Structure 1
Amino acid sequence: MSTIAFIGLGIMGAPMAGHLVDAGHTVVGYNRSQGAIDTLVSRGGKGATSVADAVAEAEVVITMVPDSPDVLGVALGEDGIYANAKPGTLHIDMSTIRPDVAVQLAEAGSERGIRVIDAPVSGGEAGAKEAILSIMVGGADDDVAAATPYLEVVGKTIVHVGPAGSGQTVKAANQLIVAGNYELVAEAIVLLRAYGVDAEAGLKALAGGLAGSTVLNRKGASMLAGDFKPGFRIDLHHKDMGIILESARAKGVAIPLGSVTAQLIGSLRAQGDGGLDHSALLRGVERLSGQEVSGS
């Protein structure tokens, strides 16, 4: 069993840290809000007063924070991981950030004797709670092998996809597909309803054929019910679409459908829906169609 510092106890991080506690590890958690730390402690973990405090005795550090600047802050700051962790510590960044920032972290960690891998996840809140996340991993072979036992506690599908930054590139591709899938499911729901079709029955039929997807299976019913409690917020998917557009532009890759979807997500956010689940793309289609908006 290992001592693990877990930085970022939000919607995804909290259940992941809890699974590591349940597996028998000593988990020292830190979060900007004290309530999340208290919840981890009540589950059997320990609390820290700062990032430096959390990582001081850790063999493994896991970060699960919102964006590239957040990871850079907790990793490179004076109170951060690389200035305070012991040489040889393994840093597993499970946030979704820019691929070039993941490479920057790996290089900075190497200079301090810290082993760094990028291991972003897919599966949302439900996947985190059920410990069935898909994890796409970038980094050196030995470091990925060392991280795998911890990743197996929180995930079901763990794939080493290449060197540092590769995990984040695959995650960008994941977010591109997921965004497009949500948008098309939303459009299908609005179309079904416009023709008076039983939308629940219609989605059941669609889920059994080539149109079937995890989005349909996990979110179809809640979309029909107008339940957009956030498992993954529009605000965060908006951030991810920015990563996708920037990454595609850097390599001269055309993503026409992705670009349109990014605009639709940005529009939804501008209309005040940024705190809702990304399945709330349904609300955007309803507005464009002049229909009553779900969940309002």
Structure 2
Amino acid sequence: MSPAQHIAFVTASTVGLPMVRRLLNAGHQVTAYSRTGQTVHAFIEAGADGAAAAAEAAAAADVVIGHQLDDAGVQRMYLGTAGLLTTARPGQVFVEHGMFDPRLARTCALHAEQQGASFIDVPLSAPPSRAEKRQLIGFAGGSPELTASVRPILMAYCRDVVALGDAGRGLELALVHELLVSVHAVAVAEAAALLSQLRLPPRESKQALMQSRAASTVLDELLLAGLTSTSAVTHGTIQSAAASRARITELVAHLGLRLQVYPAAQQHFTELVRAGAGRMDLSQLTRAYEVSHRMSTDNAPSRFQATATRNSRTSEDPAPLPAPKESFS
């Protein structure tokens, strides 16, 4: 366990609440700031001290942990007129968990170095809500020494924190991670649609697949959820990683890579957002897929459809996934 330290937590929303709770449970003193008063109140109720400004929260802290929503939020929090890096103290360490441009992370690290402080980008492998059960992996854009200095603190809510090199490297790996998740999510959506049309039993199918070479965290999380209509958002929305996916496309073009699978997945997400499905949970890609890619019923039945028709089913078999009636417009 890390020795108790004074930690500032600065954010733009309530996403950091599970992490603050874990830091408090580990014995750290936490001073929290959010741009919304309601969020600050939630931090105080959890046991943290509240601050009226980010600079106030960071003033006496040894380590400042942030979770900003985008590039603009990072720019404002750290590099703006009253940005935290403009008043950083020698030896102070700034950890940012948000997803933003790796080039901006390098700029922040340079500004911190000029103040005798340190900045490290540590995007997370899953939504901060997973902090309660320590299901997060931190991708650390910082030297092994810098990562080692903050690792004991971050392990309060992370299962592991991996040092990847200089500033921005954590964010670059996070883009690779997002590429894999996006492709896997679309693949799981297609698999779920196929399971439904074949009238295979969902739970038994998942049980078998999760013990096979096809097993993955994305399959585990999304397959059954994708076969059940829900308006709850538990895995992030279809559009929530749009900025990261656009950044991946930009990075791939810059490197001159000619990818085949990811552009198709990206196009699928783009079409769904345009169709008004962007606010649906990621698990609902299966239903959105049926709306966006439904085959014409005028065509002759496919080989799979014909087989399913010939094989009679009992009333105990699960019904195929119905076509959604709701409009995305």
- Once the two structures are TM-superposed, the CA of residue 45 in structure 1 deviates from its matched residue by 0.6
CA distance in 2, matches of 1:286, 1:168: 33
Over residues 215-269 of structure 1, what are the superposed CA-to-partner deviations in whole Å (9 max), with x where a residue is unaligned? 1222333222223414423332111101211122222122321122122222222
Structure 1 stretches of 4+ moved >4 Å: none
**1:254 is matched with which residue?**
258
Superposition pairs of residues 82-121 of structure 1, within 5 angstroms: 82-121=85-124
Q: Is 1:164 paired with 2:167?
A: yes
SS in 2 for 1:121: coil
1:203 to 206, 223, 230: 206
- Once the two structures are TM-superposed, the CA of residue 28 in structure 1 deviates from its matched residue by 1.4
**1:26 is matched with which residue?**
29
In structure 1, give the amino acid aligned to 2:106: V
CA distance in 2, matches of 1:92, 1:282: 36
Contact 2:97 2:122 in 1 (8 A): yes
CA distance in 1, matches of 2:229, 2:73: 32
Q: Which moved more, 1:274-283 or 1:115-124?
A: 274-283
SS in 2 for 1:156: strand
CA distance in 1, matches of 2:256, 2:65: 33
Superposition pairs of residues 124-135 of structure 1, within 5 angstroms: 124-135=127-138
2:284 to 280, 287, 290: 280
CA distance in 2, matches of 1:27, 1:294: 48
**1:237 is matched with which residue?**
241
Q: Is 1:224 paired with 2:255?
A: no
SS in 2 for 1:148: helix
1:53 to 51, 56, 60: 56
- Once the two structures are TM-superposed, the CA of residue 127 in structure 1 deviates from its matched residue by 2.4
CA distance in 1, matches of 2:115, 2:27: 29
- Once the two structures are TM-superposed, the CA of residue 200 in structure 1 deviates from its matched residue by 2.8
In structure 1, give the amino acid aligned to 2:47: G
- Once the two structures are TM-superposed, the CA of residue 21 in structure 1 deviates from its matched residue by 1.3
Over residues 42-95 of structure 1, what are the superposed CA-to-partner deviations in whole Å (9 max), with x where a residue is unaligned? 111111112112211111111111112211110011222112332321001111
Q: Which moved more, 1:213-222 or 1:38-47?
A: 213-222
CA distance in 1, matches of 2:29, 2:278: 35
**2:177 is matched with which residue?**
174
Q: Is 1:269 paired with 2:273?
A: yes
Q: Which moved more, 1:179-188 or 1:79-88?
A: 79-88
CA distance in 2, matches of 1:124, 1:295: 27
TM-score for the superposition, normalised by structure 2: 0.84
- Once the two structures are TM-superposed, the CA of residue 172 in structure 1 deviates from its matched residue by 0.5
**1:293 is matched with which residue?**
324
CA distance in 2, matches of 1:104, 1:163: 12
Please give the root-mean-square deviation of Cα atoms over the aligned residues, in Å: 2.0
Contact 2:226 2:287 in 1 (8 A): no
TM-score for the superposition, normalised by structure 1: 0.93
Contact 1:23 1:153 in 2 (8 A): yes
Residue ranges of structure 2 left out of the alignment (5+ in a row): 295-321
Structure-2 change in CA distance of 1:137 and 1:271 (3 Å):
same
Structure-2 change in CA distance of 1:203 and 1:186 (3 Å):
same
Bigger Rg, structure 1 or 2: 2
CA distance in 1, matches of 2:272, 2:293: 14
Structure-2 change in CA distance of 1:199 and 1:125 (3 Å):
farther
In structure 1, give the amino acid aligned to 2:151: T
- Once the two structures are TM-superposed, the CA of residue 126 in structure 1 deviates from its matched residue by 4.9
CA distance in 2, matches of 1:125, 1:112: 29
Structure-2 change in CA distance of 1:138 and 1:20 (3 Å):
same
Over residues 111-141 of structure 1, what are the superposed CA-to-partner deviations in whole Å (9 max), with x where a residue is unaligned? 2222011111112355222122011111123
Contact 1:99 1:166 in 2 (8 A): yes
1:2 to 5, 9, 23: 5
CA distance in 1, matches of 2:199, 2:227: 14
Over residues 128-184 of structure 1, what are the superposed CA-to-partner deviations in whole Å (9 max), with x where a residue is unaligned? 221220111111232212111111111112211111111111110001001111110
Matched residues, number: 296
Q: Which moved more, 1:216-225 or 1:51-60?
A: 216-225
